[in-house]
Amino acid sequence: MDNRPIGLLDSGLGGLTVLKKVMKKLPNEATVFIGDQAHMPYGDKTTEEVIELTRKSVDFLLSKNVKVIIFACNTATAAAMEVIQKEIAPKIIGVIQSGSLAAAKITKNNKVAVIGTHVTIESHAYSKEIKFRNPDIKVTELATPKLAPLVEAQRDFAYNVDVVRDSLDSLKGKDFDTMVLGCTHYPIIEKEISEIVGSTIKLVDPADQVAQYTENILKRDGMLAGEKGKHEYYTTGDCKKFTEIARKWLDDPQLVANHVETGER
């Protein structure tokens, strides 16, 4: 039994899609979420910059005495997870391994598309992980840097569809049957993406596998919570905007986010 919270970090609001799945799967667990909105998007930064920003969020979560840390951000997972795991004791759970496993299982024609930020795509992390599970799978990777800021901007469906259409244009004619949403912001515009790629394409949200894997780890190590925990929310950006959007996405009208400068404790 371990009542310490689960820590989650993201560059912005997208990681709330992972948090939602974790809360549903593990309803007794306390959580601490930090969204580094002041520095998003991470996808157009250098690997070194992403590592440094992620390290600051990790330090903040460690100050909250978390028992595990979920990198609810594909860019941070691709650029910083391996480096930072060597520096800290709590286990880090990333989204890329989970998404890759799901995609490899789901595809029927062994053709998978992956969309994500520049850093995630240029790391080829998804391609490596998917091919590790099945070398016969052909992976098409596409950087879609406009989509995460689009989600944060909270535009209407029609506007979103136009931006998604432009972003995915180069995938026309590719015979994939599965698409990995390689940024935790993207499930929020899943309907818009499906509108463009077609309803027959299976969209993979890595958050489902992350929640299951987190449960497996906590059970294995005897770290499941023994009592109902609370949820804390922090942002380096506008906490009023964060609170407004998080209340809607998590269906919690009482939710309140706090502002924090990473580096503070």
- Shared-domain flag, residues 12 and 34: yes
- Shared-domain flag, residues 115 and 199: yes
- Shared-domain flag, residues 200 and 212: no
* 1 found inside a domain: no
Annotated binding site for substrate: 10-11, 42-43, 74-75, 184-185
Catalytic residue ranges: 73, 183
Domain assignment of residue 245, given as a range: 6-94+208-259
- Shared-domain flag, residues 64 and 101: no
- Shared-domain flag, residues 13 and 49: yes
- Shared-domain flag, residues 17 and 79: yes
Segment 148-185, tens digit of pLDDT: 999 988 899 999 999 999 999 999 989 999 999 999 99
Q: What is the torsional sign of CA 129, 99, 5, 263?
A: positive
pTM above 0.85, yes or no: yes
Cα distances (Å, whole numbers) of residue 92 to 105, 110, 147: 23, 29, 26
Q: What do you get for the CA distance between the two ends of the chain, in Å?
A: 26
Segment 43-84, tens digit of pLDDT: 889 999 999 999 999 999 999 999 999 999 999 999 999 999
- Shared-domain flag, residues 75 and 115: no
Annotated binding site: 10-11, 42-43, 74-75, 184-185
